[in-house]
A = this chain, B = another copy of it.
Amino acid sequence: MVKYCFGIDVGGTTVKCGFFNVEGEVLEKWEIPTRTENNGENILPDIAKSINEKIKERKLEKEEIAGVGIGVPGPVNDNGEVPYAVNLHWGYKNLVKEMEDMTGLKTRAGNDANVAALGEMWCGGGVGYHSLIMVTLGTGVGGGIIVNEKIVTGSHGAGGEIGHAHVEDDMDVACNCGNCGCLEQMASATGIAYLARKMMEETDEPSVIRRENVSAKTVFDGVKAGDALAMKVADKFGFYLGKALANFACVTDPEVFVIGGGVSKAGEVVLDYIKPYYQKYAFPSCKDAAFALAKLGNDAGIYGAAKLVLE
């Protein structure tokens, strides 16, 4: 009888590993280093070795294990192949086949941001929903689209690349993607700091956020302290993100938006700035979509990876 599975989240410096039961409880978590040297040729063998050791250590039968789910920082096609993954120094890799050969276990793979969305649906901020859009507000803006409990991978692996929606025509600084005016430039942690610096230049208004290193945290701390300029910055952030989410809603019409990443650590106040603009711009029947904070933090990836292989 199938009782367990592995959820693996491959990052640029560390591989997070989770051993789960099929109900979604993580029974053990551990990490191994990501060895990117020699085009990352050791990464998958290291993971396979770690899994095989865990199976031996816990005296598991292979029949008890549903398999291995893996999230990677790059596009993954429906055959489980990775065309490239810059942060892992990978060119093309037939990930699923290699892992199945090395472990003898069914393997499923997905893009890490998409997989995190699945994790939040399974055991986090999106529990009970079947259709969601996950937004990760970190250094960049990541996203994952779930429709009827399935990840929308996209035909170029770009499903959920919502950080690169165009939201500002008057922006002449280029985004990492090469375009100008991307959501990521306005609503990520970096983007919020950019908005803050811009607003501080435009006014002499005194504010607690006037520091050398203004950050998204400085801004939301300022908001909580009742600082007027911080609130204006947060409002601008909410304008960009709320409007963008309204436009995404008329594509897949999700039940819930789950907001995660470093910026979301400021708490419900972040949602308070997004929702009014979302509701202003959303198509009427989408206006009552729910908003929730992500709950799994850095573990969303291992949860989602585990869920991948249970499908």
Interface string of A240-280 (1 = CB under 8 A from B): 00011011111111110000000000000000000000001
What is the CB-to-nearest-CB distance from A303 to chain B, in angstroms, rounded to a whole number? 22
> Once the chains bind, are B252 and A154 in contact (CB under 8 Å)?
yes
Task: Map CB proximity to B onto A146-166 as digits: 1 under 8 Å, 0 otherwise.
Answer: 010000111111111111111
B250:A156 contact, CB within 8 angstroms: no
User: Which residues of chain B come closer than 8 Å to A155, judged between CB atoms?
Assistant: 130-131, 253-255, 289
On whether the beta carbons of A158 and B283 are closer than 8 Å, the reply is: yes
Q: Closest B-chain residue to A131, C-beta based?
A: B155
- A246 contact from B157, B166, B253, Cβ within 8 A: B166
Which among B159, B177, B243 is the interface contact of A251 at CB below 8 angstroms?
B159
Q: Which of A154, A157, A243 counts the most chain B CB atoms within 10 A?
A: A154
* Contact of A284 with B by CB under 8 A: yes
Q: B166 contacts A247, CB within 8 Å?
A: yes
A298 at the interface (CB under 8 A from B): no
Q: How many residues of A contact B (CB 8 A)?
A: 45
Task: Please tell me which one of the listed residues B156, B252, B286 contacts residue A286 in the complex, with CB atoms under 8 A apart.
Answer: B156
Contact partners of A75 in chain B: CB under 8 A: 285
Q: How far is the CA of A243 from the CA of B75 in the complex (A)?
A: 23
A206 to chain B, nearest CB (A): 30
Contact among B131, B158, B178, B288 with A154 in the assembled complex (CB-CB below 8 Å): B131
Does A194 touch B at the CB level, under 8 Å?
no
Q: How far is the CB of A68 from chain B (nearest CB, A)?
A: 23
Docked Cα-Cα span, A162 to B246, in Å, equals 10
Query: Contact between A252 and B250 (Cβ–Cβ < 8 Å)?
Result: no
The answer to whether A179 has its CB under 8 Å from any CB of chain B is yes
Specify which of A159, A162, A163, A254 lies most central, judged by the most chain B CB atoms within 10 Å of its CB. A159
Contact A157 B285, beta carbon cutoff 8 Å: yes
- A145-B251, A253-B161 known; A281+B166 contact, CB < 8 A: yes
Question: Which residues of chain B are near A154, meaning CB under 8 Å?
Answer: 131, 252-254, 286
A and B contact pairs by CB, cutoff 8 A, 14 listed: A75-B285, A143-B250, A147-B147, A147-B152, A152-B253, A155-B254, A155-B289, A156-B285, A156-B288, A158-B249, A160-B250, A164-B283, A178-B284, A244-B247
Extra contacts, 6 of them, besides A156-B253, A165-B250 (Cβ < 8 A), are A155-B289, A158-B253, A161-B250, A164-B250, A166-B247, A177-B283
Q: Which 8 A-B pairs have the closest CB atoms?
A: A154-B253, A158-B253, A156-B285, A164-B283, A155-B255, A166-B281, A161-B250, A165-B247
